[in-house]
Amino acid sequence: MLKHFPLPCVIVDIETTGGNVTYDRITEIGIIEVTENGITEWSTLINPRTKVPETIQRLTGITNAMVESAPYFEQVAKEIILKLQGKLFIAHNVRFDYGFIRNEFARLAYTYKAKLMCTVKLSRFLYSECDGHSLEKIIKRHQIFVSDRHRALADAQATYTFMRIAEDEHGEDKIKSAIAHQYRKESIPAGFDATLIDELPNSPGVYYFWGENKELLYIGKSINIRKRVLSHFTSDHKSSKEMKICQQTRHVTFDKTAGELTALILESKKVKELNPIYNRRLRRVSKFYSVHLEENAEGLLKPHIFSVSEIPAGRKKLYGLFPSNKKARDSLELISNEHKLCYQVIGLEQTAKRACTSHQLKKCEGYCVGKQSAVVHNLKLLQGLSTLALKTWPYQGPIALIEQCKHDEREVHLLVDNWCILGAADSVADYSEILNKTSAPEIDRDIYKYLVKAIYSKSMSIKLQPLFK
């Protein structure tokens, strides 16, 4: 019986088909209930509705044959919730077990929430001098007998035994201090130095999650760095990505910015430079492609795909920024099919004296065989491309976007021309050095979106100053 831990509580352990909280499933659950009236133990195999990988079968001993006749989670959900409801939820690396169980209940449209306690953190606090705090290390360190390692109830029993040993070795005051410390920092994952949170600013900027051996895991941005970092840790059960990031994070660093725009731009730049493991949306694309229209002698508009750096001079009206020529071509094909355009005009087929393939399939309205005028085809093409149209640069030359920091008097001046950032300055005195650079940057899709929002939406606190009138 536990003497110094809050009651009632449950010590929980699960086995799963893998470590991905989003699509892997529970194969076994073990629960030890501890109340004022005593201790009860319960466990069941669960049919995960998917195959158990060979590696997991070898690790746990739970085979596909064993779970095939086991109940589905929903068949034992009522029994499980009756055991868990209203009790402190304790597990070794608690967010793993809690995340899987919460997701199983969420699939049944039921929201399960509980106060958590992690025995990994408990071990780190009470046995900080020891090397390693995995359940395997704890079992070996305290010589805990385990009847069936990597089975849910046996591992829950080992966790419970560790808690009893910790009570005997440290006494009531130390146990209560460990619990109080954990409740203060309950949103911080195991293995992370909680004191780092106190160093994070409540101001805009970019933050960096680092793993073991200074491995860069993730880069993010926020108008409040501290609040955003904490939100990662409190929502780690919601997705496999969040869980992996939180479990692996050992250190956090940050760069403060003047505001939201400079945070967005710095994040995009750093992700492309440093290629962190879990950033995919902003990964570097070395060359973008766009579509522009040329009018032939018959007044017919024909789309042409160019890399952005090779767009002919004077072609200011562009459609789309694509990571490859193929992506641009695929988009033109989709527009052609939706608006019944001619494949020969669009450039998907060579011009010929016969009907295009699309017309033969009754998808083209027949410009290629004289059934449609150039004017009508042009209108349909422009209609299809309208959603991809890049905004024409609305100024005669470069401008300065000035973002004022709300936390001090500092300003950042972004010099921008034709949707490209030429450089950043602290004051007007630095403009000439930036403007005199000979190399012009290429347009970047993410930066383009941020600048359009800053200039047109008025949702950011930005001052705009044209440099040439």
Q: Tens of pLDDT along 211-232?
A: 988 899 999 999 999 889 988 8
Taking residues 105-118, report their average pLDDT.
92
* Residues 142 and 36 both lie in one domain: yes
Residues 6+ apart with CB under 8 A from 126: 166, 169, 170, 174, 175, 178
**Pure H helices in 49-200:** 54-60, 64-68, 73-84, 94-107, 119-126, 135-142, 152-184, 195-199
Query: Is residue 283 in some structural domain?
Result: no
SS3 340: coil
More confident residue, 433 or 22: 433
* Residues 319 and 457 both lie in one domain: no
Taking residues 294-303, report their average pLDDT.
91
Query: Is residue 426 in some structural domain?
Result: yes
Q: Hey, which of 192-201, 232-241, 252-261, 408-417 has the most confident mean pLDDT?
A: 252-261
pLDDT of residue 31: 98
> CA nearest 303: which of 344, 361, 354?
344
pLDDT of residue 351: 85
pTM above 0.85, yes or no: no
* Domain count within the chain: 4
Query: Is residue 280 in some structural domain?
Result: no
Give the Cα separation of 175 and 163 in Å (integer): 9
* Residues 224 and 255 both lie in one domain: yes
Taking residues 91-101, report their average pLDDT.
92
Give the Cα separation of 446 and 283 in Å (integer): 10
Query: Is residue 1 in some structural domain?
Result: no
* Residues 174 and 141 both lie in one domain: yes
In the chain, DSSP finds a helix count (H) and a strand count (E) of 17, 15
* Residues 38 and 103 both lie in one domain: yes
Residue 361: which pLDDT band, with cuts at 50, 70 and 90?
Answer: confident
Q: What is the CATH number of the domain that holds 241?
A: 3.40.1440.10
Taking residues 136-155, report their average pLDDT.
95
Tell me the β-bridge partners of 409: none
Host domain of residue 337: 289-388
CA angle 442, 444, 446 (to 5 degrees): 165
Render pLDDT for 226-258 as a digit per residue (tens, 0 to 9): 889 988 887 656 677 788 888 888 899 999 999
Residue 302: which pLDDT band, with cuts at 50, 70 and 90?
Answer: very high
* Residues 158 and 250 both lie in one domain: no
* Residues 414 and 384 both lie in one domain: no
Give the full edge-to-edge strand order of the sheet including 289-295: 301-307, 289-295, 319-322
Query: Is residue 416 in some structural domain?
Result: yes
User: Angle, to 10 degrees, between the axis of helix 260-274 and the axis of helix 445-452?
Assistant: 180
Query: Is residue 393 in some structural domain?
Result: no
Query: Is residue 284 in some structural domain?
Result: no
* Residues 403 and 345 both lie in one domain: no
